[in-house]
Each structure stands twice: as C-alpha cells, then as structure tokens.
Amino acid sequence: MARVTISDLSNWKKQGKKWAMLTSYDQISAEIIDESGVPVILVGDSAGNNFYGYENTIPVTLSEMIACARAVTSASKSALVVGDFPFGSYESSAEVALETGVRFLKEARVQAVKLEGGVKVIPQIKKLISAGIPVMGHLGLTPQSVNALGGFKVQGRGESGAAIKADAKALEEAGVFALVLELVPEELAREISGELKIPVIGIGAGKYCDAQVLVWTDLVGLTKEPPKLAKAYRNLRSEIKGAISEWVLDVENSKFPDAEQTFH
Ligand code: KIV
C-alpha cells in the first residue's frame, strides 16, 4: 500500500475529514501503529522523556532522533512519517537546518520533518521547502523552550493569542504543510483552524482542530505520570507488569519452560 502523502492531508482539510497522528520511536510500536491505520506517525523528540530516559526533550541529539526515525520508517508501510528536529539542530541558520533535513531524509528516510517556532525560524523553513523537504510547524507550548516559557503552561491566553495567530499565518505563508498547536485555549485553536488552509493538529488544543496528536505511550497507558492533555485508552503498564510477574513466578516454581518451549 502506498504511503499517505502531504497532498492527502491537504485534501482531507478541504473535505473536512479529521485524522490522527501518533508518535513512535521504535520498530514494534511503529508496526502496531501503522497496522492500526494511523495515517501519520511523528517520530517526536518526546523520545527524550518516553524512550531515552531524559527529563525532557532538550538533551535529545540528532543522532538519537535519526536512529529512532530509521526504525520507524523501516517498520511502517502506509503512514507518512515525520521526523522531529531536536533542540540545537536548526536554530543557528537555514544552512544548518538544511543539513539536518538532508540527514533525516537520507539516513532515516522520513517523508517530512517538523520544527518548533514561529517567524524566527521562517528562513529555515523556506530553505528546507526549497530543497524539496516538506515541513510541519509547531506553535503554542514548544517543549524545547520550556526553560524560557517557565514550565509546561497553557500558551496564548488573552492578548498573547494574537502573536500565536500571527505566527501561524506566517508559517502557512512560508509553506508548511501542517501545523501542530500544543496547549493553547480551545477557542484560539478553533479560530486558527478555521482561518488556515493547511491542517491544524491539536494536542491540548481542544476539539476543533483538523487533526489530533498524542504520544503513543500516553494513549495506551504505558506512561507512569501522563499529562492532563492525554487520555489513556488502555492500561498496558499494568497488563505488562502482570505478564512479567506471572512469568517470574513460573520460573521460580519450575513451570516455565513447559513441553511447548522444550526441544529434544
Ligand atoms: O515530540 C512530540 O511528540 C511532539 C508532539 C507532542 C506534537 O512534538
């Protein structure tokens, strides 16, 4: 089956069709997510606090992101795979951003990339797009700036909403094919989704966005302390713990392996 393309996403916006994007950082989850019919997989730098064991996304390196993205593209067949630029891999110049984009496409074979920020990163976005690399934007709570923002707080309440809206319009004009809006008031996300022609993907941004994104470990209940913006549809953490405890007891009581796992 052919992979979903950025043209599909643009058509879905015109048709009013809503869709889902989910993160993945490894082979097994990418296989499962792809087989479940999720049309877009984000290899997010949330790998930092969901895969690599860091406190947040800031320490994640480009090589770490490329390794995750390569596993995800190899294990998926139908989803459009988006590689997230980690902190420090694009801010300094358009040329540095292009080098990062080229590595993501050549080494990890992603179909698109994502980076955080508004008007300040427009030169980077234009450079990437002119080289044929589709770019997804990310506004609102941008986790790579958590220290400057003073924590994981709702962005764009009251008058500051106008700045996010202006950034969103500038990113659309620069050519991004979609925009993530994270942790902003529902009404602001509704207005931006209504005014932009590109799909707006919400996370903690209410129900009026064109699409929704979640971190996959939050969705399936693997995360120890999930954020308020996520919903756990299962409790896989307790399922997995149950399976492991059962196996440990079986080993201790000589019940594993039994005849089926034994060779003669
Ligand atoms: O890194 C990530 O997972 C993200 C999403 C939460 C949008 O940027």
CA distance 14 to 128: 25
Task: Check residue 166 and give its pLDDT.
Answer: 98
Name the token pair of 60: 């994640």
Which residues of the chain fall short of a pLDDT of 50?
Answer: none
3-state secondary structure 123-189: HHHHHHHHCCCCEEEEEECCHHHHHHHCCCCCCCCHHHHHHHHHHHHHHHHHCCCEEEEECCCHHHH
Q: Which residue, judged by its Cα, is nearest atom 3 of ligand 1?
A: 44
64 classed as catalytic: no
Classify residue 21 by its DSSP letter: E
Q: What amino acid is encoded at 208 in this protein?
A: Y
Please give all residues whose beta carbon lies within 6 A of any atom in ligand 1, as ranges: 23, 42, 44-46, 84, 138, 180, 182, 203, 213, 215
What is the reported pLDDT for 55? 96
Ligand 1 closest atom vs CA 180: 7
Please give the pLDDT value at position 84.
99
Which member of 64, 116, 172, 182 is catalytic?
182
pLDDT of residue 1: 73
For residues 88 and 111, what is the distance between their CA atoms, to the nearest angstrom? 21
pLDDT of residue 99: 98
CA 44–ligand 1 middle distance (angstroms)? 5
